[in-house]
Amino acid sequence: MTLNRRAFIGTGAAAAAALSAPHVKADNHAGKPKVVVIGGGAGGATAARYIAKDSKGAIDVTLVEPSRMYYTCFFSNLYMGGFRELSSIGHSYGGLAKGGVNVVHDWAVGVDRAAKTVTLAGGAVLNYDRLVLSPGIDFVDGAVPGWDVTSQNKMPHAYKAGSQSELLKAQIESMPQGGTFAMVAPPNPFRCPPGPYERISMVAHVLKEKNPTAKIIIADPKAKFSKMALFQEGWSNHYDGMIDWIGSDFGGGNVEVNANEMTVSIDGEVTKVDACNVIPAMKAGRICELAGITEGNWAPVHAATMQSRVDENIHVLGDASAQGDMPKSGFSANSQAKVCAMAVRGALTGSKVFPAKFSNTCWSLIDTDDGVKVGATYEATDEKIAKVAGFISKTGEDAALRKATFDESVGWYAGITSDMFGS
Amino acid sequence: MGAALIASAAHAEDIGNAEAGAEVWDYCSGCHEVGQGAENGIGPHLNGIFGRPAGAIEGYNYSKGLIREGKNGLVWELDKLNAYLENPKALVSDTRMSFDGLETQEERDDVMAYLRQFSDNPQNIPEAAPTARAHEVVLAPEILAIVGDPEYGEYLATECTTCHQIDGAYDGIPSITHWPEDDFVVAMHAYKVKVRPHPVMQMMAGRLTDEEIAALAAYFGNLE
Ligand SMILES: Cc1cc2nc3c(=O)[nH]c(=O)nc-3n(C[C@H](O)[C@H](O)[C@H](O)COP(=O)(O)OP(=O)(O)OC[C@H]3O[C@@H](n4cnc5c(N)ncnc54)[C@H](O)[C@@H]3O)c2cc1C
């Protein structure tokens, strides 16, 4: 897989194949167009799977992803609330491999756009005709004074699922009776707009059972948040008096933390806390910056194909992209990946390309059987992905409808994960 | 089942002829009871049916679909009942009511007028709600006759498989594979004109054209 196309410029494909035949696996496909996908999450896994499946072997697809097991952020809050096992939100890449995707467990550490190659941490260099980037998010350095990634074991973000989720759950469960849980919420735009507030609901659910006199404080740099009326109604119905949300109007944006002392200072007032979830401001996964396709924190794309506005041979999906109106969600990333897969196949094999359609629905669980949702459909315009129509659950809905909404979210989880991983 | 989904302006009016409806009731009485002392039989009793949420009689073993519609907020109002009696599957695909439907509007009006007499407190039901007719759900042969393009359907279907599993598995969201194409088309149009209450599906179906619905029906109906 170290075949480097630059070395063969001016040589026929057959000659190239003959030269490197003994050790280069991709060789028997030397003539086929190549797609490299970086990141095996909601966007990348879906794109790799669809390109391989729908091109029926006409395109070579390589997926680069360091982890052997992908833990979905979606439903990781339910794990925290005790509604799901961690193992039930872990997915391996066997289904993709079976579906014809060449899965390489490594980090991409560089992109040479002129040469159209990707370098991996292990040293391999992969050629591509099209590169798909879906690396998710990284955190903005210095976004929360006092916090950096070296504090993430004391004050976990749990905004990438897996060990971080386990850590935060353990810290919540070992809080002393009547203790304090704090969350530092992120500024817009960020991954999963209702995510922090669903998490608060799940933390409150656990504390209500195990530690009913505990308190929850949220320091928020925003004046309002996703599904705010629904969450606030739910919090006062289920967890009355337990949750104190401090929005930007009340100094929630003026925060500093000290992980060694376990203190949080909000608008100058210092509080000793027993568990603290810091969710800093976010930016596109670092490989986007390394590839030189970001503007500010995110990578801008053309809506109709998800192509980078900087380089037409690169597509950017999911959280990392700046695309317009869609929220940064797994559903959105999956939806964008299918539009991208169609565009990539069209460009590389001449298959038919239909007009892009996008959609999203985000469910949140407030307490047992109390589910709510928000969703919308979108279309591609020249400028951006633009919202067409939407809906949101209403306050005051009856218990049966809320339960039906939760049951539906369980169905969706099974649907999207089998759509991503093919199993 | 032939006919189109035509949305007509709301008009409250006398539903129909209750006496004639008593005869139409013969189609129903093998399975349903109504009136004093009515009990569940093959179908649930129909006392107080106007304004009653779908699937609401305790102890009656409803289909999953009808229970789901009840939870989604389906209440038996005139237009919903009319749609169900015209073609039960248009409203609830897996309904256990194995009845082909009453073809003419007149028969449906009459039997509804008959049933209206057995609604416990008809006077308590606001006239505008249960008896105002918002839609007529009828299915036109032209729409059913559209031949869907399965290749287009395959692309459109990628939007559906985020929720509906392609292998037909059920984990909380119904299976939509291998349906007779007509039933599929009818169900999608029922969401599109908001006769079926579910907001996600109303949104999804709402922006699909007749051709796109046909393409999806062809694709999902003929999966290997
Ligand atoms: C608590 C929480 C709850 C959420 N709930 C929901 C929900 O209910 N519904 C919903 O739709 N969304 C939800 N989300 C959002 C959702 O998880 C993300 O929007 C989604 O995962 C984004 O997909 P992505 O492909 O952009 O990134 P990811 O899914 O994060 O995938 C990125 C992948 O890229 C890999 N990667 C990164 N850099 C490199 C590199 N250099 N080389 C190789 N691989 C790399 C990473 O290992 C990772 O596996 C939630 C998120 C959180 C945090």
The residue extents of the domains of chain B are 3-124, 141-221
A385 alpha carbon, distance to own chain's centre? 18
CB-facing half-sphere around the CA of A370: CA atoms within 13 A: 21
Question: For residue A329, how far is its CA from the centre of ligand 1 (angstroms)?
Answer: 8
A195 lines ligand 1 (CB under 6 A): yes
**Residue nearest ligand 1's atom 7 by CA:** A74
Please report, rounded to a whole number, the percentage of residues in chain A having pLDDT higher than 90: 91
Cα(A38)–Cα(A135) distance, integer angstroms: 6
Mean pLDDT is lowest, of A56-70, A119-133, A214-228, A387-401, for A387-401
The whole-number pLDDT of residue A18 equals: 37
The whole-number pLDDT of residue B120 equals: 53
**Which pLDDT band, with edges at 50, 70 and 90, does B116 fall under?**
confident
Lookup: tokens for A305: 């194909």
Residue from B75, B80, B85, B51 nearest B190 by CA: B80
Amino acid, res. A413: Y
The whole-number pLDDT of residue A221 equals: 98
Taking the Cβ of residue A361 and every Cβ of chain B, the question of whether any pair is shorter than 8 Å is answered with yes
Nearest CA in chain B to A405: B72
User: Residues near A143 by Cβ (< 8 Å), separated by ≥ 6?
Assistant: A186, A187, A280, A281
Lookup: tokens for B145: 């006759």
**Residue nearest ligand 1's atom 33 by CA:** A39
Residue B4: DSSP 8-state: -
Question: For residue A320, how far is its CA from the centre of ligand 1 (angstroms)?
Answer: 9
Cα(A374)–Cα(A183) distance, integer angstroms: 23
Interface contact flag, B203 A50, Cβ < 8 Å: no
A40 lines ligand 1 (CB under 6 A): yes
Contact A356, A333 (CB under 8 A): no
**Which pLDDT band, with edges at 50, 70 and 90, does A251 fall under?**
very high
A34-38, strands of its sheet edge to edge: A102-104, A60-64, A34-38, A130-133, A314-316
- A31 has pLDDT over 90: no
The whole-number pLDDT of residue B9 equals: 26
The whole-number pLDDT of residue B2 equals: 33
Q: Chain A, 38-97: which have a CB under 8 Å from a chain B CB?
A: 50
**Which pLDDT band, with edges at 50, 70 and 90, does A419 fall under?**
very high
The whole-number pLDDT of residue A275 equals: 98
Say yes or no: domain B3-124 is CATH 1.10.760.10: yes
- The beta-carbon neighbor of B206 closest among A50, A389, A400 is A389
Nearest CA in chain B to A376: B203
User: Pseudo-torsion of CA A71, A76, A81, A83, nearest 10°?
Assistant: -70
Average pLDDT, chain A: 93
- The beta-carbon neighbor of B172 closest among A377, A401, A411 is A411
Cα(A71)–Cα(A212) distance, integer angstroms: 30
**Which pLDDT band, with edges at 50, 70 and 90, does A47 fall under?**
very high
**For residue A51, what are the CA distances in angstroms to A63, A366, A413?**
11, 37, 22
Question: For residue A42, how far is its CA from the centre of ligand 1 (angstroms)?
Answer: 6
A280 lines ligand 1 (CB under 6 A): no
Contact A127, A119 (CB under 8 A): no
A241, with CB counted inside 10 A (0-12, 13-18, 19+), is exposed
Residue ranges per domain, chain A?
2-138+282-353, 142-278
User: Pseudo-torsion of CA A221, A225, A230, A236, nearest 10°?
Assistant: 0
Contact A306, A344 (CB under 8 A): no
Give which of B64, B74, B151, B171 to mutate to test A binding, by max A Cβ within 10 Å: B171
Cα(B39)–Cα(B50) distance, integer angstroms: 17
A57 alpha carbon, distance to own chain's centre? 28
Question: For residue A71, how far is its CA from the centre of ligand 1 (angstroms)?
Answer: 9
Query: Residue B75's beta-bridge partner residues?
Result: B53
Mutational test site, ligand 1, from A128, A319, A363, max ligand atoms within 8 Å of CB: A319
Question: For residue A160, how far is its CA from the centre of ligand 1 (angstroms)?
Answer: 7
What residues in A contact B204, CB-CB < 8 Å? Answer: 359, 377
CATH number of A142-278: 3.50.50.60
Contact B193, B79 (CB under 8 A): no
Is the N-terminal amide bond of B122 cis, ω within 30° of 0? no
ipTM, two decimals? 0.85
Lookup: tokens for A12: 């026929």
Residue with tokens 């337990």: A242
Helix A399-421 / helix A42-55 crossing angle, nearest 10 deg: 60
Residue with tokens 């004046």: A223
| DSSP SS3 for A98 | helix
What residues in B contact A338, CB-CB < 8 Å? Answer: 158-159
Over the stretch A117-153, which tens digit does the pLDDT of each residue have?
999 999 999 999 999 999 999 999 999 999 999 999 9
Atom of ligand 1 nearest to the CA of A196: 1
Mean pLDDT is lowest, of A6-20, A363-377, B136-150, for A6-20
The total number of residues shown for chain B amounts to: 224
The whole-number pLDDT of residue A184 equals: 98
Over the stretch A267-311, which tens digit does the pLDDT of each residue have?
999 999 999 999 999 999 999 999 999 999 999 999 999 999 999
The whole-number pLDDT of residue A19 equals: 38
**Residue nearest ligand 1's atom 5 by CA:** A74
Determine the distance in angstroms separating the CA of B210 from the nearest CA of chain A, rounded to an integer. Answer: 16
Q: Chain A, 326-345: which have a CB under 8 Å from a chain B CB?
A: 331, 334-335, 338, 342
Mutational test site, ligand 1, from A65, A192, A317, A340, max ligand atoms within 8 Å of CB: A192
The whole-number pLDDT of residue A284 equals: 98
Q: Which CATH class is domain A2-138+282-353?
A: alpha beta
Phi/psi at B213 (5° precision): -65, -40
- For the domain with range B141-221, which CATH number is right: 1.10.760.10, 1.20.1180.10, 3.30.70.141, 2.60.120.560? 1.10.760.10
Mutational test site, ligand 1, from A191, A331, A363, A416, max ligand atoms within 8 Å of CB: A191
Residue from A182, A215, A228 nearest A364 by CA: A228
Interface contact flag, B172 A419, Cβ < 8 Å: no
Over the stretch B136-154, which tens digit does the pLDDT of each residue have?
346 678 888 899 998 899 9
The whole-number pLDDT of residue B125 equals: 37
Over the stretch B16-60, which tens digit does the pLDDT of each residue have?
888 899 899 989 988 898 887 788 888 999 988 988 899 999 889
- A174 has pLDDT over 50: yes
CB-facing half-sphere around the CA of B103: CA atoms within 13 A: 3
**For residue A131, what are the CA distances in angstroms to A32, A47, A317, A402, B131?**
15, 11, 11, 42, 59
Lookup: tokens for B178: 């291998």
The whole-number pLDDT of residue B89 equals: 87
